[in-house]
Structure 1
């Protein structure tokens, strides 16, 4: 059986978890936080989560894990079958991650964990988000899902990546990143209401207290 290492407050762990649930693939969750123990570095060389342990060995990096799941496991397809369409979804996923979530992540400490970031960082993040959202507006279809008619990996990234960035934008810049993207807010609401997405979210909330204690102890 597949073993998924990580913790329920990690959005990347939750992306993989939701994909496995949506495809109805049996797996075991192993709670672990990022660490540099020799034991964990044997399967995750950077000590990061998520890590998926398969019969062939361990895999890290979310995009690689999702590709493996799609190519090796049964269940409903979450990538298009045609090569170019599949590549376009991967392109869109990377753009959401690199140009929306990762800039916003620089402000996570202030928005989610009670820290502070500099004025310069805020300004840089706001400008980066503006460019990233402009890119998403050009790429995404919302017809009705992010990349077309079927639910897939682009929607998983949208739910667990863009939504976090939008919380940053709303709190620090008083801007809704989805405003002006027809169908985007409606899709985010529909995705959040999917039964398996709600299960992942419930597990996230249940794990917040423990995660907060670990952060405060550092």
Structure 2
């Protein structure tokens, strides 16, 4: 059985959790924040979460985990298209959203979510880059009705937690939900994903984890 380590407030943790649920893979969860202790570093080389324990050993980095799950459980519901080019397009989408949107936007999370302070220079730089990244993402998304077509795939597993967080953070910092602004039809798409029972479960667990996090601060 897979063990998933991390915290439910993490969008990358929820990406992996949603994939496990959608693929109907048995797993357990162990709440563990990122850390630099020897015990964590032996399992995740930079102390990052999420990571998983498999029969073969530990595996970190959320995208490596997603692709491992797809390869290791081919009998489970597929999260990648069978066609080679379409699989590549799915990977392209994931790389774009994470490198050119989410990882840039996370520079404002400390203020948008955790009550810290971000410089105006950083806010201005993030605004320009995230808007550009979202414009590119809009060119890749078909929303017909899922991110890349008729079927629910890994692109949707990744898009849902990331775009939720980016939209929230940009609304807090700029007074504008940049995701909604730059991707027409995204609200309907998000409702479609959130109609899925597994997304509802992940969302419920995330909400409870966030409530506990802020209560204990």
- TM-score after normalising by structure 1: 0.93
In the alignment, the residues of structure 2 paired with residue 186 and residue 86 of structure 1 have an alpha-carbon distance, to the nearest angstrom, of 24
Counterpart in the other structure of 1:29? 29
Is the Cα contact below 8 Å between 2:34 and 2:49 reproduced in 1? yes
Counterpart in the other structure of 1:8? 8
- CA shift, 1:193, in A, is 2.6
Partner SS for 1:107: helix
Counterpart in the other structure of 2:68? 68
- Indicate yes or no: 2:193 matched with 1:184: no
Flag as ranges the 4+ runs of structure 1 deviating above 6 A.
none
Counterpart in the other structure of 1:146? 147
RMSD, aligned CA: 1.4
In the alignment, the residues of structure 2 paired with residue 95 and residue 138 of structure 1 have an alpha-carbon distance, to the nearest angstrom, of 11
In the alignment, the residues of structure 1 paired with residue 181 and residue 212 of structure 2 have an alpha-carbon distance, to the nearest angstrom, of 34
In the alignment, the residues of structure 1 paired with residue 13 and residue 182 of structure 2 have an alpha-carbon distance, to the nearest angstrom, of 30
Which sections of structure 2, spanning at least 5 residues, go unmatched? none
Is the Cα contact below 8 Å between 1:44 and 1:51 reproduced in 2? yes
Is the Cα contact below 8 Å between 1:21 and 1:196 reproduced in 2? yes
Is the Cα contact below 8 Å between 1:43 and 1:58 reproduced in 2? yes
After the TM superposition, which of the residue ranges 183-192 and 49-58 deviates more from structure 2? Answer: 183-192
Alignment of 1:28-47 (within 5 A): 28-47=28-47
After the TM superposition, which of the residue ranges 180-189 and 87-96 deviates more from structure 2? Answer: 180-189
- Aligned pair count reads 215
Is the Cα contact below 8 Å between 1:143 and 1:149 reproduced in 2? yes
Which sections of structure 1, spanning at least 5 residues, go unmatched? none
In the alignment, the residues of structure 2 paired with residue 140 and residue 146 of structure 1 have an alpha-carbon distance, to the nearest angstrom, of 5
Cα deviations across residues 63-115 of structure 1 (Å, max 9, x unaligned)? 10000000111321111011111011111111111111111101111111112
Is the Cα contact below 8 Å between 2:7 and 2:31 reproduced in 1? yes
